[in-house]
Structure formats: structure tokens, C-alpha cells
Amino acid sequence: MTKPNLKILLCAPRGFCAGVDRAIQIVDLALERFGAPVYVRHEIVHNKYVVEELRRKGAVFVEELDEIPDTRQPVIFSAHGVAKAVPAAATARNFFQLDATCPLVTKVHREAEVHHRKGRHVILIGHAGHPEVIGTMGQLPEGAVTLIETIDDVARLDFAPGTPLAYTTQTTLSVDDTRAIVEALSQRFPDVAPPHKEDICYATTNRQAAVREVAPKVDAMLVVGAPNSSNSQRLREVAAREGCARAVLIQRASDIDWSELQGLSTLGITAGASAPEVLVEEVIDAFAERYTVTVESVRTADETVAFNLPRELRDDPAA
């Protein structure tokens, strides 16, 4: 039986960003250098496949430090960053700490601290309950940060006249949504201080740009990523906003609902920043079983960013 033809437009860049790659390397190298177990507070990145692979190697994932027994083994903080109280509590228990926080998240933390030292109240644009948001708010004293999620939230802000203000953002937001919120914020508070440099990270921006290019050209768009991954959810939203009627987030090939993907001639595929390429290949293979597939890469940016590992894991700590 002849299989129907399917053209797959593969978004590039996609998948792992430099911060995710660094975080996973930190866990892998810690296991290699210090042996199992290695304790990781929260999922190192938001991807079940990655977490399960590291768990198989000997990583133990916990939500809070009190789940960790007294140990000399490494305790690793996830790529999303943590509130200041977390490393303080780890120090109090004499844990050997390795910080896998993405350097671009750390940049947001430092900017928030600078604004606070200058007497500004910080407005954080982000998603309530996300680990990155919890970590950023936890850099400053309680009440020093106000979280907003939508344009409607801007209208509800109530500061005394003359209050010095600044804003910062979660690194994995929708570029378009955030731009609209910032415009509304700047209109209401013309003197609000912006970030020194854009807070939404290069990887989020690049992946959304690739989806924006591909989405109008395909019958459906699959985003490979986890449901609790902010950047993956934003990719799905961008695809839908750009006119792709079937934009679906899946964790891997086994999640594909084939009944929703009937009659395809073109398909877009991308992956969130914490999704490994092996899962993208798995999805392509699943379609190749049902279609005669041709794959075309659509590249909108080249990425050359790389981040240093913690000193404790470098071959030459002095480097």
C-alpha cells in the first residue's frame, strides 16, 4: 500500500539551549566525578525524559532540601534558579552545593537586586508558581516585588504617586505578549526603569521566531516539550496565533493523537529548550511509518552561546 506524502518543516533553532545543556552537564559530571547519589532540587530541566535518564544514572530528585539526608554528596539547584533562602539553608546543613541556574536567569536576579538597592519597587512579568518566578521573587525581601501576568494586571497596579519603579521579566515568556504588557506598563508609569538588556532569553526568542516563520505554511505544528515547560507552551501559543489551526504540545511520539492529525500534507515540528533531539527524531520516525516523509530545515538564526561550568566541575578549576 502506497503511503501518502508528507513534507515536514523542521524549525531551527529548536531543542536544547545553552542553559539547559549546561544544567544537564552539571548533573552528568557530578555523577561521574563524585558517584551516585547526586541530589537535585526540583527537576533539573522541565523534561520527563531527561529527568528519567538522569535518575537512571543515580540522580535523586527532590522538591525541598528537607527530603535530603545529611550527606557529603553534591546537592544541585535546577536551571530555573532558586530563592536566596535555599542556598542559605543548604549552607546551614553543610551541603556541597552546585548551582545549575541558567546564567541568563542569574542576570535577572542580579538586575532585580540592583533595582532594589536603588530604591525601586520591582514589577516582575511572569507566570505565578513557575520555579523561575519563585526564584526571582525570592532574591528580594517579601513585598519588594509585585508579580503581574497580563495587561489587565497592569491596570490593577496601585502605587503611591512618585514611587520609583522598575520591571523585569521571566526569561521564557511569549515575546509578543510581553511586548504588549511592557507597552501598557510604560504608558501607565512612564518613568518605570527597564532591564539593562532584554530579559527574555535568546533561545526563547529564536525558537519563537522559527515557529512564526513555519506555522503559516503547515497543516499542523507539533511542539515537543513538557506541559510544565513555559517556553514549550509559548511555542504552541505562537504557532496557533500565527494561523496554524492544529498546534499541539506532545512529550514524545507515543503522545501523538493520530485521529487529530488526519489529512496532513505539511507538518511543522519544533522542540522546547529542554527537549532533547532524540525525541524529535522519534516523532519524525513515527510519521515515517505512516507517510513517505521529506524533511526540510527552516533556520531563522544560528546559536553559538555556551556557558562555563561551575569551578568544581572544570578540568582546570583555574581556567
What was the pLDDT predicted at 319? 47
Nearest Cα residue to 169 out of 140, 132, 114: 132
Q: Tell me: the pLDDT tens digits for 258-302? A: 999 999 999 999 999 999 999 999 999 999 999 999 999 999 999
**pLDDT digit string (tens) for 134-143?**
999 999 999 9
Separation between Cα atoms, residue 73 and residue 37, nearest integer Å = 7
Question: Pairing mode, if any, of strands 38-41 and 59-62?
Answer: parallel
Percentage above 70 pLDDT, the chain: 99
The pair phi, psi for residue 193, each rounded to 5°, is -85, 130
In the chain, at which residue ranges do the beta strands (DSSP E only) sit?
A: 5-12, 38-41, 59-62, 74-77, 96-99, 121-125, 145-148, 165-169, 220-224, 247-250, 266-271, 292-299
Q: Which CATH architecture has domain 104-188?
A: 3-Layer(aba) Sandwich (3.40)
| Domain boundaries 5-16+202-299, corresponding CATH code | 3.40.1010.20
CATH hierarchy code of domain 18-102: 3.40.50.11270
Span 92-104, pLDDT tens digits: 999 999 999 999 9
pLDDT tens, residue by residue, 146-203: 999 999 999 999 999 899 999 999 999 999 999 999 999 999 999 999 998 889 999 9
Contact 249, 227 (CB under 8 A): yes
In the predicted model, is pLDDT for residue 315 greater than 80?
no
**Cα distance between residue 299 and residue 254, in whole Å:** 27
Domain boundaries, the chain: 5-16+202-299, 18-102, 104-188
Mode of pairing for the β-strands spanning 145-148 and 96-99: unpaired
Taking the C-alpha atoms of residue 34 and residue 101, their distance in angstroms, rounded to an integer, is 20
**Catalytic residue set:** 132
pLDDT tens profile 20-58: 999 999 999 999 999 999 999 999 999 999 999 999 999
Q: Would you state the pLDDT for residue 289?
A: 96
Domain 18-102 and domain 104-188 have a common topology: no
Pairing, β 220-224 against β 59-62: unpaired
What is this structure's pTM? 0.93
Which residues make Cβ contacts (< 8 Å) with residue 270, sequence separation at least 6? 10, 11, 14, 207, 210, 211, 214, 221, 222, 223, 224, 235, 239
pLDDT digits (tens, 9 = 90+) for 100-123: 999 999 999 999 999 999 999 999
Confidence of residue 316 (pLDDT cuts 50, 70, 90): low
pLDDT per residue over 230-266, tens digit each?
A: 999 999 999 999 999 999 999 999 999 999 999 999 9
